[in-house]
Structure 1
Amino acid sequence: MNRSTKFINDIFIYAIGNLGSKLITFLLVPLYTYYISPDDFGYYDIVLTLTFLAMGFITFQLRDGTFRFLLDNEDEYTRKGVVSFSYKLMAQSSLVVLLVGIVFSFFYDIRDWGWIVAFVITLSLYEVEVQIVRGLGQNKSFVLAGILTAFQIGLYSLIFVAWLRMGIAGIFCSNILSRLVTMVIIEFRARVFKRYFIVSFRDKSLNRALLKYSLPLLPNAVCWWLLGSSSRLFIEHFLGLEANGIFAVAMKFSTILETFSVIVYQAWQETAIKQYGAADRSKFFSRIFNTYILILSVLALIFVFVLKINYSWLVDSRYLESLQYLYPMFISVICFALASFYDLGYQCSKQTVRNLPGVITTTGLNLIMNYVFIRFMGIWGIVLSSILSYLFMLGFRIIDTWKFFPVKVSMEIIYPILFLIGGAIVFYRVDSIILQIIYITVVVILSYCIQPRSIRQELQMKIKALFN
């Protein structure tokens, strides 16, 4: 199997897990919007946003470090060292969070505080666990974990949210229970703890190397959190929880395209690390990047127009206002995905420290623009700030990584740009469903025709294999 075919094959493998899980998450949006008010859903979204921030500190970004080190080292000694250190560190940090949470509860009365602490700890443990499984090359177990978790969240949500009417406490309970059960099942399948965990195992040099790689990713993760999530805090402060609920629903739908970008990122992460030493890496990486731009643009157009046609029955009438923000949010996801593509340059070269100046500068600009734009443009200001921030980061990374991650952007980038400009006009100015479908059909046909023959052949072979 050549590297391009393997890359496409990995995309399909990760797609099985991610699309299955995200589909269930997507289907839960109507359920949540029906049984939970915009204020409550806005509160849950704020908690979820802060949880992702806390996870970086609790895990010390080991979710990234363990994957990188396990993927790079197949000897049993290193694997036992990485797994043992990660589990012991996670046990200690989880205990600290639990004790802090208990003490904190005596001084502050925070809604659903017990559920929140349990949610943060469980999600942190789960994220490290599944990345360890993935780093050990057990991609099927990694995919299975995503499917199992999503299926259980859907099932438990029906029980706790729809049947028992527990509100957002039901959402927390569904997320916690589903991940706990999944971790038990995956352990029985992969035997990671049994095979690789040794209490007395200590290798200070390996531990230092792992932390040296992981810790610089912590401020990077905080900055990414600020870029992607601080908008909720600005909206909640300036516009209120109801507006944040509207924004959160639109964000839920924009994650459809973000899911695809995550699938490609996960597959590309393995391919890029393993092909980093190839003699023709620049040509190969450039080919993948330019194809990626076009596919992202076409998928964005397909998703956003399908949503527009069906939006009135997908969400409760209280959330219909969020439709107007979908198109620019999808543009923002494209910019985010392209900037993330270059993040692999820092990981491949293990120069994670070098990533900080760009992401810190971008975060600062984003916070400033959020503060300024929201006062005059409301939610539109937040969306515009997001697009401009990710565009800046993309430009910065293209220049900064050129010496060790040279990717040449083809002039064919003009095609997806034209598609997106035309799509914006059709989305906001054309109400005819037939004309919208015609536009998308033309875009899909043109995008397929301008692809290199090798890409078309590989995709055709893979698709045929699925039906044989």
Structure 2
Amino acid sequence: MFSQLKRLGADSLLYAFMNVGTKLIAFILFPLYAYYIGDTAKIGILQLVDTNVSMLTFLVIFGTDSALAYYYFEYKDKETREKYVRSVMTFRLSVVFLLVIAFLIGGDWLSSLLLGSSGYTDLFYIALGTLCLDTIVTLVLTILRYEFQTKKVVFTTVAKMLLIAIVSVLFLMFIWDSLDGILVARLISVGIIVLVLIKPVKIYLRPLFEWGILKKILVYAAPLVPASLAFWVIANANNYFLKAYGTLSDVGLYGTAIKFATFITLLTSGIQLAWRPFSMSLKDKDSSPKLFATLYAAFLLVGSLGVLLLATAMPWIILVMPEEFRIAFQYVAPIAIATFLNFYYMIVSTGIFYTKQTKHISIAFGIAAVISVILNFIFVPVFSIWGTVISYIVAYCVALFLVFRKSQKLYYVPFSGFKMAWTIFWLIAATVSIVYIQVKDLNNWSIAGVWIGFIVLILLVRMDKYFVKRK
């Protein structure tokens, strides 16, 4: 067990370093975007473009990431593994090609539908070019991660973000100070990374249409597609409700809060990248359930403390933004709760992926997406941005507990669902309390009281004892 934990710890630490580096670059870059663009409405347009590209990314991946993770570790010989990777690459690039055709035919109409103006069609063309190149880079880095070439993955990922930052700043300062300039800078930067990875790229870019392999991949992956669409609805449809019931400035402020809420991924993303190969490699070990129970509890506690720390520090962190953006600070920590739950569901869904019952993730997130849409209809017209935040948190809470419940039935881990719910409930209460104190400009010592209250409540249910017997 110790050697497995050592590997997880070492890989997670490197991935955490990678994430800290990339997030710091992004956090420096976003205020620069805000200063050069100088308009919350234009930042709202950029947010909507990124929202749509994220949805298209789900379609391109089509659940094949989870399928590839399973079959890559299922087979040991290099030739078979390579066939699976090439099949996935061929499938993904074929989907990108179909999307490009769709936008070439109906780009103006789609731009008007999604952004309210046909004048932004070029933004989608540039973004699709970046999506194509990023599809190649992402799959190559995924295989390097499966091969535990962690240092190479970390270096390449940080280099990509650094390139995007440098090229973006150069474009904004000297060449093209507009949204087009930002997107072209991304395109050029990702293209350079493709050239850096040219050796594995040449191997995996060779098309392979082998129906037997593709069928196995899609049978595993297809049940996850509704889940991917549900993810997109929960995380991104909020932008369209804000645009419909509010303004593009509301979308820009919400997008600002989303960017800063990803601070929580400084804690989680390293683990997230290391978790899949780590957990899949332990599939047949008798000691795994007890190990997983310990990790479930540890991740929940560390993540909760991270959210509260972000809530406490946010009024000072937001000062890096121009004045008109700073009001967004109050939404950041509540959104970070949903961001953390999006990570945490992957940790507690081990049984679903072990047994290939991935349709249950689609069911859980499908239910959560419906709830999210209903809550947006109810709350956004009344509470604006707070309405989207409420729907976001509730949807992920529902999805998490549905996934956890099913995973426990398929592969039991001695971990208390009640204590998990208790911790998340008081995390939400503590976060909202801290934000309320800050917005109302109350005594800062009240925030210390919230911290103490949260810690006492967690100790009350003995979070250090998570092992329970199966009934």
TM-score bracket for this pair, using the shorter chain length: 0.7 to 0.9
Aligned counterpart in structure 2 of residue 192 of structure 1, from 193, 200, 210: 200
Q: How many angstroms does 1:410 deviate by?
A: 7.0
> Equivalences for 1:106-117 in 2 at 5 Å?
109-111=118-120, 112=122, 113-117=124-128
One-letter amino acid matched to 2:309: I
Query: What SS does structure 1 have at the residue aligned with 2:197?
Result: helix
Aligned counterpart in structure 1 of residue 369 of structure 2, from 360, 363, 366: 363
> Equivalences for 1:38-53 in 2 at 5 Å?
38-53=40-55
Do the aligned residues in 2 keep the contact of 1:81 with 1:202 (CA within 8 Å)?
A: no
Question: Are 2:100 and 1:98 aligned?
Answer: yes
One-letter amino acid matched to 1:80: E
Question: Are 2:125 and 1:124 aligned?
Answer: no
CA shift in 2, pair 1:440/1:143, >3 Å: farther
Distance 2:443 2:182 in 1: 36
CA shift in 2, pair 1:268/1:114, >3 Å: closer
Partner residue of 1:212? 219
Do the aligned residues in 2 keep the contact of 1:328 with 1:383 (CA within 8 Å)?
A: yes
Q: How many angstroms does 1:443 deviate by?
A: 9.1
Q: How many angstroms does 1:277 deviate by?
A: 2.0
> Equivalences for 1:270-349 in 2 at 5 Å?
270-311=277-318, 313-349=319-355
Question: Are 2:189 and 1:162 aligned?
Answer: no
> Equivalences for 1:55-94 in 2 at 5 Å?
55-94=57-96
CA shift in 2, pair 1:14/1:443, >3 Å: farther
Question: Are 2:147 and 1:147 aligned?
Answer: no
Partner residue of 1:466? none
Distance 1:75 1:443 in 2: 54
Question: Are 2:393 and 1:387 aligned?
Answer: yes
Partner residue of 2:18? 17
One-letter amino acid matched to 1:255: T
Partner residue of 1:183? 194
CA shift in 2, pair 1:216/1:271, >3 Å: same
One-letter amino acid matched to 1:425: S
Query: What SS does structure 2 have at the residue aligned with 1:276?
Result: coil
Do the aligned residues in 2 keep the contact of 1:297 with 1:420 (CA within 8 Å)?
A: no
Do the aligned residues in 2 keep the contact of 1:291 with 1:451 (CA within 8 Å)?
A: no
Q: How many angstroms does 1:234 deviate by?
A: 0.7
Would you identify which runs of 4 or more consecutive aligned residues in structure 1 move more than 6 Å?
439-448, 450-453
One-letter amino acid matched to 1:310: I
One-letter amino acid matched to 1:43: I
Distance 2:424 2:250 in 1: 32
Q: How many angstroms does 1:179 deviate by?
A: 1.3
Count of residue pairs brought into register by the alignment: 447
Q: How many angstroms does 1:98 deviate by?
A: 3.0
Partner residue of 2:259? 252
**TM-score computed with the length of structure 2 as normaliser:** 0.85
Partner residue of 1:459? none
Aligned counterpart in structure 1 of residue 406 of structure 2, from 385, 400, 404: 400
Identity score, percent: 19
Partner residue of 2:115? none
Deviations 1:374-406 (A, max 9, x none): 112111111111111111112212222222232
Distance 2:87 2:326 in 1: 48
Query: What SS does structure 1 have at the residue aligned with 2:286?
Result: coil
One-letter amino acid matched to 2:246: L
Deviations 1:61-112 (A, max 9, x none): 3344334322443311212211222333344333333333333347774412
Deviations 1:345-389 (A, max 9, x none): 322222212322211111111111111111121111111111111
CA shift in 2, pair 1:240/1:87, >3 Å: same
Q: How many angstroms does 1:260 deviate by?
A: 2.8
CA shift in 2, pair 1:370/1:259, >3 Å: farther
Q: How many angstroms does 1:338 deviate by?
A: 2.6
